[in-house]
Structure 1
Amino acid sequence: MSLKGFLEGGIAAVVAGCATHPLDLIKVRMQLQGEALSQKPYEGLPKKPSSRMKAVQGAGVLGVGLEIVQKEGPLGLFSGVSASALRHAVYSTTRLGLYEVLKQHMTDEDGNLPVSKKILAAMIAGAIGAAIGNPADVAMVRMQADGHLPPHMRRNYSSVADAIIQILNTEGLSSLWRGSMPTIQRAMVVTAAQLASYDQIKESLIASKVMDDGVTTHFAASFLAGVVASIVSNPIDVVKTRIQNMQTIPGLPPPYLGSLDCAWKTVQSEGFFALYKGFVPTVTRQGPFTITMMMTLEQVRYILREF
């Protein structure tokens, strides 16, 4: 198994993840809007949210971004960036490298690889990458969500290492894999949408002679792949974020018993479109992330082509 594909994918994903982290942070904060009053620690609060809380819940991308800057300073937009870097170094390195390995094994003797096999390869790679990278994902979501919580409920992790150590000490090893099922489901969908659709779109553009194999083609294919990934993954992403961020009280059942329970409670209390909370920053982030990742990957491949 060649390690070259893993190295190329890891470099591209870490660069893209760090560059688009503020948009990912805004997405997480928006996905948690409207959730607070339905969780156990908030039972003592008034039934009706205050006008301030309503304003926060209705805030858009710019509103949430400005609120973060006002409350936490400009560096608040990079809360959890160390966890993001670790997550992509583990999760994305695995999925991108493994995708290339699986494609090689699935390609027939004539060099053909149908889109169905590309999707299968991407889903397998995404699932394995997500399972391995879940601890960093849990730490990242919690670090991003901290500023959303009242001061007395914040975890105040100083780094991704501190977050993982504290979770281990206070909640046990299994908590590092909390939300692993929706994380794996999301990774399968996102990886298939990103990688398989990117490959297929790029190959179609080149084969039809609409574009040559170059930067413009890479940009167009990665942009479209990012849009597809955003549309199909947002509901799973909302569920994943809420499960990973939920706080439990000893002796009481957790707010959510699983992915379906979380999705059902979210729809019941906030309506169906709550599953698309954070969609604008998702597509705003997923587009630049996919473009940055795939274009960086193409350039890294070009630089390392002789190795």
Structure 2
Amino acid sequence: MGENNPKPSAGVWPTVKPFLNGGASGMLATCVIQPIDMIKVRIQLGQGSAVEVTRNMLKNDGVGAFYKGLSAGLLRQATYTTARLGTFKILTNKAIEANDGKPLPLYQKALCGLTAGAIGASVGSPADLALIRMQADATLPLAQQRHYTNAFNALYRISSEEGVLALWKGAGPTVVRAMALNMGMLASYDQSVEFCRDSLGFSEAATIIGASSVSGFFAAACSLPFDYVKTQIQKMQPDSQGKYPYTGSLDCSVKTLKSGGPLKFYTGFPVYCVRIAPHVMMTWIFLNQIQKLEKSVGL
């Protein structure tokens, strides 16, 4: 949705603002949602149900285990979410201008979401890889654990030990997942805001909550299969002969389909949906509050 500015703004701030706002809102949401994300990853790695994973984490590692990889999660938001939300805002504003200020049809919002997701994932893929590895580290045998101290240590060691291009390992499924997630999240949110506000007459708070809930569900449903494949690719280790279990995302998809059927791709869907929906909701809420604060101080 475009904003009607009473007067044109000069300088770089109007261009930079959507990116900074997007990154800040995503980072704030991640601070709240990190424990659920940690549980989701361990479920996908075959550590048991949500209850079993939670109990074992508390028993073996304490509360700190739920925030393992937080630095990588924040770095991911500072790159991925900054790029995708900022790009989506600019793309939709340009499209609205081309449409003479009229609301965009759903397919145009979906195309903007797909493009923003691809750009954001390409920028944020190294941080995403570091996050997955840090979260999965405790599930590996002691001899295979990498013991990264923080996100920057992980990025440095990956690039020095495996080569710079290894930072984009799994980038293919990461980009595809991001395109699916952002198509579901961004397009459905804008469409739901218009419906809740204009057709149902909801208040601002109810509109944000309702649209965010719809957005979170569609983001989860569209992206989980790609997220599952991405996680398997990024956390894989070579065997004693140096051979990896999968040659790529397509090979992983085919083997997963053969071994577990289509529903295998939706392993951990309840927790994934619970993780995605609140994160989406809080991201939009934080974003709206940040924009209100900026307006109040004339930014």
| TM, length-normalised to structure 1 | 0.88
Corresponding residue for residue 205 of structure 2? 215
2:71 aligned residue (77, 82, 106): 82
Corresponding position of 2:18: 5
Maintained 8 Å contact 1:183/1:240: yes
Secondary structure of the corresponding residue to residue 158 of structure 1: coil
- Give the alignment partner of residue 229 of structure 1, picking from 207, 219, 223: 219
Cα distance in 2 for partners of 1:270, 1:140 equals 26
Deviation at 1:249, TM superposition (A): 5.2
1:203 to 194, 212, 228: 194
The question of 1:103 aligning with 2:92 is answered yes
**Is residue 67 of structure 1 aligned with residue 56 of structure 2?**
yes
**What letter matches 2:33 in structure 1?**
T
Match of 2:3 in 1: none
Gaps of 5+ in 1: 34-55
Match of 1:193 among 175, 184, 192: 184
Matched, 1:143 2:134: yes
How far has the Cα of 1:271 moved from its partner?
3.4
Secondary structure (helix, strand or coil) at the match of 1:112 reads coil
Q: Which amino acid aligns with 1:277?
A: T
The equivalent of 1:23 in structure 2 is 36
Count the aligned residue pairs.
282
Q: TM-score, normalised by structure 2?
A: 0.91
| Structure with more contact order per residue of length (Cα contacts < 8 Å, sep ≥ 6) | 1
1:272 to partner: Cα distance: 2.8
What residue identity is the alignment partner of 1:165? Y
Moved more, 171-180 or 253-262: 253-262
Determine helix, strand or coil for the equivalent of 1:281.
Answer: helix
For 2:124 and 2:239, the matched residues in 1 are separated by 26
Q: Tell me how large the CA RMSD over aligned residues is.
A: 1.4
Native 8 Å contact 2:196 2:210 kept in 1:
no
Name which of structure 1's ranges 223-232 and 137-146 shifts more when overlaid on structure 2: 223-232
Match of 1:51 in 2: none
Residues 253-292 of structure 1 mapped to structure 2, 5 A cutoff: 253-292=243-282
| 1:87-132 superposed Cα distances (whole Å, 9 cap, x missing partner) | 0000000100110000111111133311111111111111011001
Match of 1:160 among 123, 144, 151: 151
Number of the residue aligned with 1:295:
285
User: Contact 1:72/1:147 (CA < 8 Å) preserved in 2?
Assistant: no
For the Cα contact (< 8 Å) 2:25–2:287, is it kept in 1?
A: yes
Aligned partners of 2:117 and 2:252: how far apart in 1?
22
Give the letter aligned to residue 180 of structure 1: A
Bigger shift: 222-231 or 103-112?
A: 103-112
Instruction: Measure how far apart 1:137 and its partner are.
Output: 0.3
CA separation in 1, counterparts of 2:213 and 2:159? 38
Corresponding letter in the other structure for 1:246: M
The sequence identity of aligned pairs, in percent, is 38
